Structure 1
Amino acid sequence: MNHTKRSGTPVKRSLKVALVYLLVGGLWILFSDAAVERVVSDPEMLTRLQTWKGWAFVAFTGGVLYLVMLRQFQNDRVMLDRQLGQQEEIRRLSQFQQSVIDNANIWINVLDPDGRVLIWNRAAEEISGYSSDAVTGSDTVWEKLYPDPDYRAWVLERVSRIMAGDEEAEGLETTIATGHNGNRTIAWNSRSFLDAAGRTAGSIAIGMDVTEPRAAESTLKARERQLRTIMDNLPGMAYRCLYDEYWTMKFISSGCRDLTGYEPDELIDNRHLPWVDLMFADESDAVSSAVDDAIAAAEPFSVEYRLRRANGDIIWVWERGRAVEDDGGMVLEGIILDVTERKQLESRLSEMATLDPLTGQFNRRETDRILQEEVTRAERYGRKLAILWVDLDHFKDVNDSRGHAVGDEVLRSISLRLADSIRTVDTLGRFGGEEFIVVLPEMSVDEAWDVAERLRVRVADEPIRVSDGDPLTLTISIGVAVYPDHAESAEGLCNMADKAMYQAKDQGRNRTMVFSQVAGTIESDKSGEA
């Protein structure tokens, strides 16, 4: 309709010009002839003037026609130049579409206001699996890309809002069904555009295929969830910390809560307190030294130390880790486990291996070991060393008359009195049955005698209370031997002290006797029979 209107305008203008020319020409002929006839009566002159008048009219109209045609040709030239410029612009736009849009490695499509495809570049063809010829000028591609009706309705509703200018899509992700490569995830940036009159002319959309990155992200998230689950279910605490004086924590698993009583956020970056403050100062240096040695050897480290929990409890932990490079610096990564129960078990096992189960004093093997060490030390530094061999008097009568349970109570009670009556540097051990040994470092014969007498008197003067019946009054016999006066070996000292103890028994019991080197005799006791 607009084309017909525009085509009719030059015809009307041409008719108007022709009518004006005829009107002017007719009036000129009519009035000019009449005027000339009134002025000139000579026929020859009249003919000549009419001829001149005709040529003048021709010249005038020819000039006017020249000016009109010149103007028209100039306008035509301007129009032709404009058309040529438009054609060149169209050619350039076509080249731009070919070189930029079509060859772009991202999906570019343009829609008209009705949702029909105007532009569908090569990347769109490759990603979607649908050719430009198959989708251009049509809106059926939506059903192919989004076969699910509900999902398609949601997508088209977003397209409508973009077309109306109500919103612009930035990073909007949709999943399309391609014609050749299964489902793909596309991230869209889209907006509407206007024509010269300010009306919506359509929308342009740029899409990026993010299927692989999203799959990688999904895999990474799944691995992170798996790792977090593993970390949260570890029997201890996983960590990453700086290799500095505070052991500044940069990551701590949730196991920190059960291990230390603190929330992970309280210890990360030393927000509440640094990790080193949970450690004991006298152990921190040893831990640091062990870690330093492991790093120097490029090996993992394993350390055990005590921690003070938030509630004040003391626990033992075992830490296993290694140093790793991180952004040009060094950090420590590892795991920390609560080994308090294991340490307690080790302590109990150690006690079982070194202590007598009945009395709680050192057993024979441990007492032998300590005695050997003390003899070696006495020899190295030229010091004295005394031992006391203690034996209960008439202990068999207690077992026979009161039973072995009461006998056990007696042994425990006697051992506690002996242990309570010696120095912390001294050692009390049970050698078996009712025999005990007391190791007295740096003691002479007289000093050892005094200690032995103190032990003998205390046992004899304090009745033993037992659970079955009346208290019991018992005595002990003690033999004394001193290094190097009587022997220079642990075995020799034991033999000499044992002989002195049996001599005390022979002398009537409840006595202290010192071994004498003279003809194998025994020095008489100073106390006499009690």
Structure 2
Amino acid sequence: MNHSKRSGTPVTRSLKVALAYLVVGGLWILFSDAAVEQVVSDPEMLTRLQTWKGWAFVAFTGVVLYLVMLRQFHRDREMLDHQLGQQEEIRRLSQFQQSVIDNANIWINVLDPQGRVLIWNRAAEEISGFSSDVATGSDSIWEKLYPDPDYRAWVLERVSRILSGQEEVEGLETTIATRHNGERAIAWHSRSFLDSAGRVAGSIAIGMDVTESRAAESALKARERQLSTIMDNLPGMAYRCLYDDYWTMKFISSGCRELTGYQPEDLVDNRRLPWSDLVFADDAANVTAAVEDAIGSAEPFSVEYRLHRADGQIIWVWERGRGVEDGGGMVLEGIILDVTERKELEARLSEMAAIDPLTGQFNRRETERILQEEVARAERYHRKLAVLWVDLDHFKNVNDTWGHAVGDEVLRSISLRLAESVRTVDTLGRFGGEEFIVVLPEMSVDEAWEVAERLRGRIADEPVRVSFGMALDLTISIGVAVYPDHADSADTLCNLADKAMYQAKEQGRNRTIVFSGVSGSTESGEIQHLGTPAGKSDGA
């Protein structure tokens, strides 16, 4: 364009060349003839020189014309080559548009400086539902894509800023209204481009349909919220930890705060302290063994142990989990629940199962269990063990005379006195009715008889006061049997002590008798002690 302006049109250029030729030819004729006439006077020679001068002018002008035409042909050839190159470039651009732009699986469109669509590829047609004929060369496509006026105004403002070169966008998401498929979410990457003069020639935009991915993200977030809600409302704590010496936590649910008193972030990656520091020291080995056994057999594990809370309280927890492979390593996943109340209830139930509800002493079953353990211990360490069989004298008369309520008061009072009169290592149990058993570890025959006499004396010397103000005088009869002097089993010891107690009854009550074989035992070395309180009748 600039070259044409400098040189003029072909007609003008031709006229200039012809005029220049005429001027040069005329000047040549005028000046060359005059010069020849001044030099040569001979007419024949003058004619010959003028002929040669004419041929010289023709030769000169021929050479000049040749050079001019050669230069022009070169220029024409260059222009032709340039035109052919442009045509090839246009062809290649066309192929590029067809092969790349039109066949791209992402939306590509080009806008002119006025915001009209110049290029609208096949992906744009498929996503929007609007053909290239509808989209190009008109502003109506904006109304179709963004029917809401306010939203459309916001979009066009961004387009205007891009076309003016004020803004480039990456990942800008808009929601378009399609022709057939409802709304679609499109993420845009757009910028302006310049022409050869450096002016904005339009903008190019690439759009990616992110509708499905955003729907998947939304669903994932919803599932994460649901999972978080479930985790936060678990009755305890969910966790994921490494299978290492510290049980290094990688994830802990918010239930950690209520369970341990620590924030989850305090324990994750051992930031404040490792989980292993919370486990009660005496239980750590059992926990490790339970987890190792479960992993070795590829089964879930369940284990109960004590835990140190942040406030210093010790609680019982139940942990259920299993080992899973994670990137070539082993991790543990599971839940941990606070079972302190259940453990306390179990302890109370166990205590209730072992305690006589009337007297508060061990019941028969628990007393027999303890006696079995003490006999086994005495046998292992070659020690003595004594059993006292205690029975209230004439207790039936108390019930018949004063009623069972008073009888219960008497039993509670008697059991309390007996419990206060023995060592902490001794065991007092109610065997039923008005009968009690006292287990005395490491007691010889003489020592057991002395203890029995002390018990009998205290009961006989201290009347029992009941609720209506009466003081009842009561006595007890006691039978004594000792391991291994009299028997080598718990059952036999009880039977022999019971028989000695009945001997005490037969001999007048309110006395202590060590088993002597009178009722069937013939063991050597057996002795008999009779105890009768002063001032009391044997038949009391």
Fold similarity call, TM over 0.5: yes
Letter of the aligned partner of 1:197 in structure 2?
Answer: A
Letter in structure 2 aligned against 1:277 = D
Partner Cα distance (2:420, 2:197) in 1:
110
Alpha-carbon deviation of 1:61? 2.9
Inter-partner Cα distance in structure 1 for 2:487 and 2:304: 43
Note the C-alpha offset of 1:231: 0.3
| Partner residue, 2:128 | 128
The answer for the alignment partner of 2:530 in structure 1 is 525
CA distance in 1, matches of 2:260, 2:46: 135
Determine the structure 1 residue equivalent to 2:524.
none
The residue that corresponds to 1:193 in the other structure is 193
CA deviation after TM superposition for structure 1 residue 274, in Å? 1.5
Distance 1:519 1:341, change over 3 A: closer
What letter is aligned with 1:237?
M
Q: Give the stretch that moved more between structures: 291-300 or 13-22.
A: 13-22
Equivalent-residue separation in structure 1 for 2:386 and 2:328 (angstroms): 63
Tell me if the contact between 1:389 and 1:497 (Cα under 8 Å) persists in the aligned partners: yes
Higher deviation after alignment, 483-492 or 181-190:
483-492
Q: Distance in 1 between matches of 2:518 and 2:38?
A: 197
Aligned match of 1:11: 11
Moved more, 453-462 or 268-277: 453-462
**2:498 match:** 498
What residue number does 1:322 align with?
322
Distance 1:10 1:154, change over 3 A: same
Distance 1:333 1:120 in 2: 53
CA deviation profile, 1:164-211 (whole Å, cap 9, x unmatched): 222211111222233343332222221111111111111112222222
Asked if 2 retains the 8 angstrom alpha-carbon contact of 1:463 and 1:474, the reply is yes
How far 1:226 sits from its partner (Å)? 0.5
TM-score, structure 1 length as denominator?
A: 0.89
Query: For 2:181, what is the secondary structure of its paired residue?
Result: coil
Q: Equivalent residue of 1:518, what SS?
A: coil
Q: Secondary structure at the match of 1:244?
A: coil
1:149 CA displacement: 2.3
Asked whether 1:81 is paired with 2:81, we answer yes
Taking the aligned partners of 2:490 and 2:38, their CA distance within structure 1 comes to: 177
| 2: CA distance, partners of 1:4 / 1:27 | 31
Paired AA for residue 391 in structure 2: D
d(CA) in 2 for partners of 1:474 and 1:187? 99
Matched residues in 2 for 1:223 and 1:389: separation?
Answer: 70
Question: In the superposition, relative to structure 1, how do residues 457 and 61 fare at CA in structure 2: closer, same or farther (>3 Å)?
Answer: same
Whether contact under 8 Å (1:406, 1:468) holds in the other structure is no
Query: Bigger shift: 275-284 or 385-394?
Result: 385-394
Question: Structure 2: how far apart are the matches of 1:136 and 1:2?
Answer: 32
Deviation at 1:74, TM superposition (A): 2.0
Seen in structure 2, the aligned counterparts of structure 1 residues 350 and 66 have a Cα distance that, compared at 3 Å, is: same
In 1, the alpha carbon distance for the partners of 2:41 and 2:311 equals 144
Q: What SS class does the counterpart of residue 9 from structure 2 fall into?
A: helix
Distance 1:303 1:34, change over 3 A: same
Q: Please, which runs of 5 or more residues in structure 1 have no aligned partner?
A: none
Q: Identity, % of aligned pairs?
A: 83
- Look up the equivalent residue of 1:129 and give its one-letter code: G
The aligned residue for residue 233 of structure 1 is: 233
1:149 lines up with 2:154 in the alignment:
no
Which residue of 1 is the match for residue 358 of structure 2?
A: 358
Q: Decide whether the 8 Å contact of 2:186 with 2:210 is kept in 1.
A: yes
Could you report, residue by residue, the CA deviation over 1:235-294 in whole angstroms, capped at 9, with x for unpaired residues?
111011111111111111111111111111111112222112212111110111111111
Q: Judging changes above 3 Å, is the alpha-carbon distance between structure 1 residues 36 and 495 closer, same or farther for their aligned structure 2 residues?
A: closer
Question: Match of 2:469, as an amino acid?
Answer: G
| Distance in 2 separating the partners of 1:279 and 1:458 | 49
- 2:165 aligned with 1:170: no
What secondary structure sits across from 1:207 in the alignment?
strand
Q: CA RMSD in A?
A: 3.2
Q: 90-99 vs 481-490, which deviates more?
A: 481-490
Instruction: Give the length in aligned residue pairs.
Output: 530
Quick one: structure 1 residues 292 and 47, their matched pair in 2 at CA, closer, same or farther if it must change by over 3 Å? same
Q: Displacement, 1:23?
A: 3.3
Deviates more, 1:439-448 or 1:186-195: 439-448
Contact 1:486 1:517 in 2 (8 A): no
Give yes or no for contact 1:111–1:204 (8 Å, CA) kept in 2: yes
Q: Which moved more, 1:123-132 or 1:203-212?
A: 123-132
TM-score using structure 2 length: 0.88
* Partner SS, residue 61 of structure 1: helix
Report the residue type matching 1:84 in the other structure: L
Q: Per the alignment, in what secondary structure is the counterpart of residue 171 of structure 1?
A: strand
1:290 aligned counterpart, secondary structure: helix
For residue 424 of structure 1, report the CA deviation from its aligned partner: 4.0
The whole-number CA distance in structure 1 between the counterparts of 2:387 and 2:290 is: 40
- Partner-residue secondary structure (3-state), 1:118: strand
Contact 1:364–1:429, Cα closer than 8 Å, also in 2? yes
Per-residue deviation, residues 36-65 of structure 1 (Å, max 9, x unmatched): 678778777766665555444433333332
State the SS of the aligned residue for 1:319.
strand
In 2: Cα distance, 1:467 partner to 1:263 partner:
57
Which residue of the partner structure matches residue 445 of structure 1?
Answer: 445
Structure 2: which 5+ residue stretches go unaligned?
522-526
CA contact (8 A) 2:449 2:529 kept: no
Q: Is 2:97 the counterpart of 1:97?
A: yes
Residue correspondence of structure 1 range 308-457 to structure 2 within 5 A:
308-375=308-375, 384-396=384-396, 404-457=404-457
Q: Does the CA-based 8 Å contact 1:388-1:452 persist in structure 2?
A: yes
Residues 471 and 173 (structure 1), Cα distance of their counterparts in 2 relative to 1, 3 Å cut: farther
- The equivalent residue for 1:72 is 72
Deviation at 1:336, TM superposition (A): 0.5
SS of corresponding position for 2:390: strand
What secondary structure, in the 3-state scheme, does the structure 1 residue paired with 2:306 have? strand
Secondary structure of the residue that 1:138 maps to in structure 2?
coil
What is the identity, as a one-letter code, of the residue corresponding to 1:356? Answer: D
Deviates more, 1:493-502 or 1:432-441: 493-502
Q: 1:285 is matched with which residue?
A: 285
Residue of structure 2 in register with 1:246 after alignment: 246
* Distance 1:422-1:78 versus aligned 2 partners, 3 A rule: same
Cα distance between partner residues in 2 of 1:35 and 1:382: 164
Q: Decide whether aligned partners of structure 1 residues 14 and 68 sit closer, same or farther in structure 2, where only a CA change above 3 A counts.
A: same
| Structure 1 range deviating more: 183-192 or 414-423 | 414-423
Q: Is the 8 A contact 1:385 1:440 kept in 2?
A: yes
How far apart in 2 are the matches of 1:308 and 1:473?
Answer: 53
Relative distance call for 1:482 and 1:91 in structure 2 (3 A) is same
* Corresponding position of 2:516: 516
> Equivalent residue for 1:272?
272
In 2, the alpha carbon distance for the partners of 1:454 and 1:524 equals 14
User: 1:452, 1:512 within 8 Å by CA — same for their partners in 2?
Assistant: yes
For the residue of structure 2 that corresponds to 1:361, the secondary structure is coil
Does structure 2 conserve the Cα–Cα contact (< 8 Å) formed by 1:303 and 1:318?
Answer: yes
Partner Cα distance (1:13, 1:363) in 2: 135
The 8 Å contact of residues 305 and 316 in structure 1, kept in 2 or not, is answered as yes
Q: Which amino acid aligns with 2:530?
A: D
SS for the counterpart of 1:477 is: strand
* Structure 1 residue 397: Cα displacement: 5.5
Matched-pair contact (CA < 8 Å) for 2:7–2:13: no
Supply the distance in 2 between the matched residues of 1:13 and 1:150 (Cα, whole angstroms): 60
Work out the CA distance in 1 between the residues paired with 2:380 and 2:56. 155
Question: Compared with structure 1, are the counterparts of its residues 35 and 511 closer, same or farther at alpha carbon in structure 2 (3 Å cutoff)?
Answer: same
Q: 1:6 to 1:219 in 2, by over 3 A?
A: farther
Paired residue type of 1:209: D
